[in-house]
Amino acid sequence: MSKLVTIYGGSGFVGRYIARRMAKQGWRVRVAVRRPNEALFVRPYGVVGQVEPVLCNIRDDASVAAAMQGADAVVNCVGILNETGKNRFDAIQDEGAERVARLAAAAGVARMVQISAIGADADSDSDYARTKALGEAGVLRYMPDAVILRPSVIFGPEDDFFNRFAGMTRFGPLLMIAGGGSRFQPVYVDDVAAAAEKAVTGQAALGVYELGGPEVKTLRALVEQMLAVIHRRRIVINLPFWIARIMAFGFDMVQVVSFGLIANGVLTRDQLRNLARDNVVAEGSRGFAELGIVPTMIGAVLPEYLWRFRPSGQYDEMTASARNLRS
């Protein structure tokens, strides 16, 4: 019988790519999510019955244990960028990650992969970064042989980075950003999935890997690269942090007074704290080179999914060509 991997958050941005890769490797894949009916799109990743979404709440011991029953490996991709309802940073990224590791150890699961993030720091003033670090510690407490992957900002067709900034260009000639001078090392989502695949299949030594792409750029430079891809001209304004803090506070308060009905999908105070510091691979850390993976350039991927933000969408280059002929 083929081996089984349970991927917590396996229908999410990163998880779906890991699920697809593991299915291609011939593994049975159990995609553990809160709403299995919204994750049915993962089934075609393999043959009939090979990839199955199952109900799981990472805050609940019983459902986490049930989802990993009989598994040879587990991957935890669950994470949040903004707290809503019961989904708090501590509950999801700290206690949730530790819960998966604790129950995996009790069940005798051979391997675990934890998707964390560059900048994870137990002493950070950011709840996101702090709970990522606490989650790593919880995982290693119960699964000391686990592989922890810390990617920089991840890009790809379903990302919440380039897609968000590209969407903002539709609202006027100005594009306001915060932390424009902070450096990032964007990493392609399928490269992160390839690293997870190597970890699950035993081709990666245990420990922590920091995953960054081949290019280090400031946030402003990344936004300008995005603008070039979508063929739009916008005035990029780098907001002073004191102004950005006022705006983030306002967006957070809208979420609070609406009792979460209007989620802050623009900018939170916690996200702003992370934007104030660089998000690049630390010197001397293990990364793609040790995994035998050559990371993908940003420019090789962006046009494949940002074309829909161009003035004429998929026909933009054709329209430009016709305009040149008339001239």
* pLDDT, tens digit (0-9, with 9 covering 90-100), for 125-182: 999 999 999 999 999 999 999 999 999 999 999 999 999 999 999 999 999 999 999 9
Q: Could you tell me which of 282, 314, 289, 293 has the C-alpha nearest to residue 121?
A: 282
* pLDDT, tens digit (0-9, with 9 covering 90-100), for 298-319: 999 999 999 999 997 766 665 6
Are the C-beta atoms of 77 and 18 separated by less than 8 Å?
Answer: yes
Q: Helices 97-107 & 127-142, crossing angle to 10 degrees? A: 10
| Side chain identity at residue 92, one-letter code | I
In this prediction the pTM is: 0.94
**For residue 147, how many other CB atoms are within 10 A of its CB?**
25
Q: Cα dist. 34→9, 38, 58, 78, 205 in Å?
A: 8, 9, 8, 11, 31
Whether 191 shows a pLDDT value over 80: the answer reads: yes
Walk me through the domains of the chain, giving residue ranges and CATH numbers. 4-157+185-215+279-296 (3.40.50.720)
CA distance linking residue 264 with residue 71, whole number of Å: 36
Strand partners, 55: 33
Average pLDDT estimate for 67-80: 97
Are the C-beta atoms of 102 and 142 separated by less than 8 Å?
Answer: yes
* pLDDT, tens digit (0-9, with 9 covering 90-100), for 32-48: 999 999 999 999 999 99
Tokens of 105: 């150890």
Please provide the distance, in angstroms rounded to a whole number, between the alpha carbons at the two ends of the chain: 65
| Burial class of residue 316 in the structure, from the number of CB atoms within 10 Å of its CB (0-12 exposed, 13-18 middle, 19+ buried) | middle
| Side chain identity at residue 215, one-letter code | E
Q: How confident is the model at residue 17 (pLDDT cuts 50, 70, 90)?
A: very high
Average pLDDT estimate for 192-209: 97
Q: How many residues does the chain have?
A: 327
CA distance linking residue 268 with residue 264, whole number of Å: 7
Region at 259 (left for phi over 0; alpha for psi -120 to 50; beta for the rest): left
**Residue for token digits 């119960």?**
142
Average pLDDT estimate for 246-264: 93
> Which helix (H) or strand (E) is 98 found in, with range?
helix 97-107
pLDDT of residue 85: 87
- Going by the DSSP 8-state scheme, the letter that residue 32 receives in this structure is E
pLDDT of residue 325: 56
| Burial class of residue 134 in the structure, from the number of CB atoms within 10 Å of its CB (0-12 exposed, 13-18 middle, 19+ buried) | buried
